[in-house]
């Protein structure tokens, strides 16, 4: 019942949550000269760099695609999802420490902080995704109604990042090295996911081993939707979905067990 009460308290401060998301959006973008462009400058820079460096090398990996944009579509599909996952995980890990003074001074439900992180991350994701979809329309590669199949993928990515982020964020209150470690691990994790390269470019044994990476099937699912305009086998989402559920459950248990001590440690 404590979880239900926490959720009710969080719902009770929904106006504060919405205001916080708006404030973050305004302070991050609307107060600058280039405005919303900054929302996409980092992923855009990554796409341009990797396209220039790897497009020629990866071209043989797309034998069934004559489009000169095949690699770019494959790359964008992965980076859009990865940016969402990376932002939510990174922000969730440090959310309690960074808002320690707020939790001490204001009677704010701790659940509200991950909710703010999630809504902020989804807002940024929506902007980047909208521009990517616009790019697909311009080049004549709109996938059609199958694009809706990406919604469950996004839900799993959010659940995975939030579950792992809140779990590690709770531990980070007591062991501050966790946040720094996550940043380092994410750098390796990115290269263990088929974003810049394709699975067919790897030896079979390595591809089979890396499929245990939960982001692997999620990215591949999205890439197939946007590049091939087809929906892959839904069973490929089972492993990351189950793992996300386990992490969310573990995060909830850890949060409930240590919630009373979090403010004392901040």
pLDDT given for residue 247 in this prediction: 96
Q: 266 or 182: whose pLDDT is higher?
A: 182
Nearest-CA neighbor of 167 among 266, 262, 252, 86? 252
pLDDT given for residue 34 in this prediction: 62
Give pLDDT tens digits for 152-165.
999 999 999 999 99
Give pLDDT tens digits for 94-152.
988 888 777 776 677 788 889 999 999 999 899 889 888 988 998 899 999 999 999 99
- DSSP letter, residue 186: H
pLDDT given for residue 1 in this prediction: 43
CB contact at 8 A, 228 and 63: no
User: Quick one: pLDDT band at residue 80, thresholds 50, 70, 90?
Assistant: very high
Give pLDDT tens digits for 199-221.
887 888 888 888 899 999 999 99
Q: Nearest 10 degrees: CA dihedral of 55, 57, 63, 64? A: -20
**What's the pTM?**
0.90
Nearest-CA neighbor of 43 among 89, 10, 84? 84
Tell me how far apart the alpha carbons of residues 226 and 60 are, in angstroms, rounded to a whole number. Answer: 19
pLDDT given for residue 189 in this prediction: 96
Tell me how far apart the alpha carbons of residues 251 and 243 are, in angstroms, rounded to a whole number. Answer: 12
């Amino acid at each position: 019942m404590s979880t239900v009460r926490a959720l009710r308290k969080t719902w009770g401060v929904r106006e504060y949550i919405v205001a916080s998301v708006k404030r973050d959006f305004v302070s991050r973008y609307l107060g600058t000269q280039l405005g919303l462009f900054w929302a996409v400058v980092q992923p855009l820079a990554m796409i341009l760099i990797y396209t220039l460096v790897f497009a020629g090398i990866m071209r043989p990996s797309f034998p069934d695609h004559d489009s000169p944009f095949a690699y770019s579509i494959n790359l964008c599909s992965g980076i859009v999802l990865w940016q969402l996952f990376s932002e939510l995980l990174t922000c969730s890990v440090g959310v309690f420490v960074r808002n320690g003074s707020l939790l001490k001074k204001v009677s704010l439900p701790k659940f509200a902080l991950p909710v703010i992180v999630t809504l902020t991350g989804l807002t940024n994701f929506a902007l980047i995704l909208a521009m990517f979809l616009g790019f697909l329309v311009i080049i004549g590669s709109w996938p059609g109604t199958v694009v809706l199949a990406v919604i469950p993928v996004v839900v799993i990515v959010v659940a995975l990042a939030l579950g792992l982020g809140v779990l590690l964020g709770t531990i980070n209150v007591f062991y501050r090295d966790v946040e720094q470690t996550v940043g380092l691990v994410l750098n390796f994790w990115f290269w263990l996911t088929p974003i810049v390269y394709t699975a067919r470019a790897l030896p079979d044994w390595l591809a089979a081993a890396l499929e245990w990476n939960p982001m692997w099937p999620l990215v591949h699912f999205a890439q197939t939707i946007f590049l091939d305009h087809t929906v892959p086998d839904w069973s490929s989402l089972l492993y990351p979905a189950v793992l996300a559920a386990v992490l969310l459950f573990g995060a909830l248990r850890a949060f409930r067990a240590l919630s009373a001590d979090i403010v004392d440690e901040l």
